[in-house]
């Protein structure tokens, strides 16, 4: 395979400016992650420890095999959304290896508002379930939750994708033979009680775990029956009397040991079906990426240089290098896994869309997973483009991409705007996972375009009604729109709303891709059935 060429200057002013700006972005990413890792306030964490309980991240660390990675999803969910709730939305989700088997781990963080579920918490739990479902990963839920966060009812109760979907997904996954396991670590009320009750196998911790549909106060209010927590829903009662739980543990560590045994008895571990080559580092230093990503939004990044720093041995078998060159397509390996790369290098033209369609088809026929590296402001507009049929060629690309039933991954490495976002496998196109680099940005259109478009609409209204507005009034109208679009496009806004799975440092990309591809390679291949391609 051909080794890429990449002739860059690491001493130029531009490189240095870019690198220094990017290091600030990375420091910002780590600050946000640190806030998420810490969990709830000091007071709540102390209380937790006084009860002789492990903190949720300590539980996860004890559950996964020594040395296992923990690929965390939606770590920054809900950042800044609710007063007193740190990034993470009172729950931790991610994939780790338990007794040699990849599992989805979902852990309530009771140090944050009693581990209760806001709307965004439900969304995060459901997203973790969907990933587990798609990859047939057993789900291990570490429960300690007061159930619904009552004031956030509209985000929790009535709709699909909210709390009820958690139950539905558990039931359907169990039905499809995807194991559902829970540990009841602490008081788990209402929805918090149904989650373990709906599992295949459930462990409860003595004198700590408790599950009931209504707690003692609620029972008293409803029936005047006076009953304590242990009697009403403690481990001893549920393990000996009600039979709601299957294993009684002495403490958190014991419960985790029992759970590891449960996972060890789930039958054969699905094996990797792809031939994974010996991983080779890129020939060009991935650290250069910081200096290559343009800090000036008006100056494009040469993404060929980026690919050269992400793929094994910087080797790339490029497909149609001379045709539709605003899109780079080709085969490479990342940490030994074969992958088909579709990467923007400019605006999408008809030729680039046709090339993408052809390339995606090749990957589907060969069963090779796809990585979409998005850096696109959109499709070409104008009379020439329309006469050349850009709508139907763009439609072909989107159809091929949405139909492709090989594992698909989206990495937003720069811009991802409008129809470009869709055609480069944006979230609605259901990639297996979607990541953003901290500089990643996505919106219907850019801030200036949005401000101009809305101002032009208003111009027309003035014209129709025979009124006028001054240039100052026009600018005063445009400025907040611009700001709103600017804020929206930010990678952390996507992370906060769980529109992407994670914001990653470019230097983490190879490892994250390897973990994701390892999971996908344990599934049987699927046949792609392509929607009609408009000719």
Q: Considering the rule CB under 6 A, would residue 56 count as an interface residue with ligand COA?
A: no
**Of 79 and 305, which CB lies nearer to ligand COA in the complex structure?**
79
Strand order in the sheet with 201-205: 70-73, 91-98, 101-108, 139-143, 180-184, 201-205, 247-249
Ramachandran sector of residue 88 (left: φ over 0; alpha: ψ -120 to 50; beta: rest): left
Measured in residues, the chain has a length of 535
Q: Considering the rule CB under 6 A, would residue 377 count as an interface residue with ligand COA?
A: no
For the record, the structure tokens of 104 come out as 């989805």
Tell which residue, 250, 163, 255, has the closest CA to residue 202: 255
Question: Rounded to whole angstroms, how far apart are CA atoms 350 and 389?
Answer: 7
Q: Is 445 helix (H, G, I), strand (E, B) or coil?
A: coil
Q: Considering the rule CB under 6 A, would residue 116 count as an interface residue with ligand COA?
A: yes
Q: Minimum Å distance from CB 49 to ligand COA?
A: 12
**Of 189 and 377, which CB lies nearer to ligand COA in the complex structure?**
189
Which part of the chain contacts ligand COA (CB under 6 A), choosing from 145-153, 277-285, 355-363, 517-525? 145-153
Which part of the chain contacts ligand COA (CB under 6 A), choosing from 3-11, 141-149, 312-320, 481-489? 141-149
Q: Minimum Å distance from CB 35 to ligand COA?
A: 16
Tell which residue, 64, 58, 93, has the closest CA to residue 260: 64
For the record, the structure tokens of 325 come out as 């060159």
Q: Considering the rule CB under 6 A, would residue 158 count as an interface residue with ligand COA?
A: no
Q: Considering the rule CB under 6 A, would residue 46 count as an interface residue with ligand COA?
A: no
Other Cβ atoms closer than 10 A to 436? 26
Tell which residue, 232, 268, 205, has the closest CA to residue 52: 205
Among 6, 121, 149, 399, binds ligand COA (CB under 6 A): 149
Question: Rounded to whole angstroms, how far apart are CA atoms 25 and 32?
Answer: 11
Other Cβ atoms closer than 10 A to 216? 17
Contacts for 174 with CB less than 8 Å, ≥ 6 apart: 180, 198, 199, 200
**Of 149 and 399, which CB lies nearer to ligand COA in the complex structure?**
149
Among 146, 209, 420, 440, binds ligand COA (CB under 6 A): 146
Among 25, 59, 113, 510, binds ligand COA (CB under 6 A): 113
Q: Minimum Å distance from CB 223 to ligand COA?
A: 15
Q: Considering the rule CB under 6 A, would residue 50 count as an interface residue with ligand COA?
A: no
DSSP state of 3: B
Q: Minimum Å distance from CB 148 to ligand COA?
A: 4
Among 119, 147, 196, 369, binds ligand COA (CB under 6 A): 147
Which part of the chain contacts ligand COA (CB under 6 A), choosing from 143-151, 284-292, 387-395, 438-446? 143-151
Are residues 516 and 510 in contact, defined by beta-carbon separation less than 8 angstroms? no
**Of 191 and 330, which CB lies nearer to ligand COA in the complex structure?**
191
CA atoms within 13 A on the CB side of 89: 27
Q: Minimum Å distance from CB 267 to ligand COA?
A: 35
Among 66, 84, 382, 466, binds ligand COA (CB under 6 A): 84
Site size toward ligand COA, by CB under 6 A: 14
What residue ranges bind ligand COA (CB under 6 A)? 84, 110, 113-114, 116, 146-150, 187, 189-190, 215
């Amino acid at each position: 395979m051909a080794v890429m060429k990449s002739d860059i200057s690491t001493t130029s002013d531009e490189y240095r400016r870019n690198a220094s700006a990017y290091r600030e972005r990375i420091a910002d990413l780590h600050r946000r992650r640190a806030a998420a890792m810490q969990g709830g306030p000091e007071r709540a964490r102390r209380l937790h420890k006084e009860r002789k309980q492990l903190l949720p991240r300590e539980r996860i660390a004890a559950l996964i095999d020594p040395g296992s990675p923990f690929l965390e999803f939606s770590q920054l969910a809900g950042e800044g959304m609710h007063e007193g709730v740190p990034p993470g939305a009172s729950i931790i989700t991610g994939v780790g290896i338990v007794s040699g088997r990849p599992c989805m781990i979902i852990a309530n963080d009771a140090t944050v508002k009693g581990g209760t579920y806001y709307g965004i918490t439900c969304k995060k739990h459901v997203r973790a379930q969907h990933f587990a479902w798609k990859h047939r990963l057993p789900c291990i839920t570490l429960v300690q939750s007061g159930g619904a966060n009552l004031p956030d009812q509209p985000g929790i109760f009535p709709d699909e994708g909210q709390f009820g979907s958690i139950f539905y997904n558990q039931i359907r996954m169990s039905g499809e033979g995807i194991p559902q396991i829970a540990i009841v670590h602490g008081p788990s009320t209402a929805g918090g009680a149904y989650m373990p009750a709906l599992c295949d196998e459930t462990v409860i911790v003595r004198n700590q775990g408790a599950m009931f549909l209504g707690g003692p106060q609620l029972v008293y209010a409803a029936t005047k029956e006076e009953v304590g927590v242990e009697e009403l829903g403690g481990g001893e009662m549920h393990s000996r009397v009600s039979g709601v739980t299957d294993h009684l543990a002495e403490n958190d560590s014991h419960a985790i040991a029992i759970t590891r045994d449960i996972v060890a008895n789930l039958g054969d571990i699905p094996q990797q079906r792809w031939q994974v080559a010996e991983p080779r580092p890129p020939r060009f230093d991935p650290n250069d990426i910081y200096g290559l990503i343009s800090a000036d939004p008006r100056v494009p990044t040469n993404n060929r240089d980026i690919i050269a720093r992400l793929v094994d041995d910087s080797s790339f078998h490029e497909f149609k290098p001379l045709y539709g060159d605003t899109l780079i397509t080709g085969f490479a390996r990342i940490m030994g896994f074969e992958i088909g790369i579709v990467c923007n290098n400019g605006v999408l033209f008809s030729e680039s869309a046709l090339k993408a369609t052809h390339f995606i088809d090749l990957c589907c026929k060969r069963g090779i997973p796809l990585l979409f590296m998005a850096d696109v402001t959109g499709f070409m507009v104008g009379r020439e483009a329309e006469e050349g049929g850009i709508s139907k060629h763009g439609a072909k690309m989107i159809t091929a991409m949405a139909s492709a039933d090989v594992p698909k991954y989206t990495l937003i490495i720069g811009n991802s705007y409008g129809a470009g976002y869709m055609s480069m496998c944006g979230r609605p196109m259901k990639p297996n996972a979607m990541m953003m680099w901290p500089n990643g940005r996505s919106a219907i259109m850019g801030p200036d375009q949005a401000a101009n478009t809305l101002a032009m609409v208003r111009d027309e209204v003035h014209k129709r009604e025979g009124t006028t507005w001054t240039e100052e009034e026009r600018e005063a109208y445009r400025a907040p729109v611009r700001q709103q679009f600017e804020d929206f496009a930010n990678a952390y806004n996507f992370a906060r709303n769980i529109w992407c799975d994670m914001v990653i440092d470019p230097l983490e990309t190879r490892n994250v891709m390897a973990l994701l591809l390892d999971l996908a390679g344990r599934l049987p291949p699927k046949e792609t059935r392509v929607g009609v391609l408009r000719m």
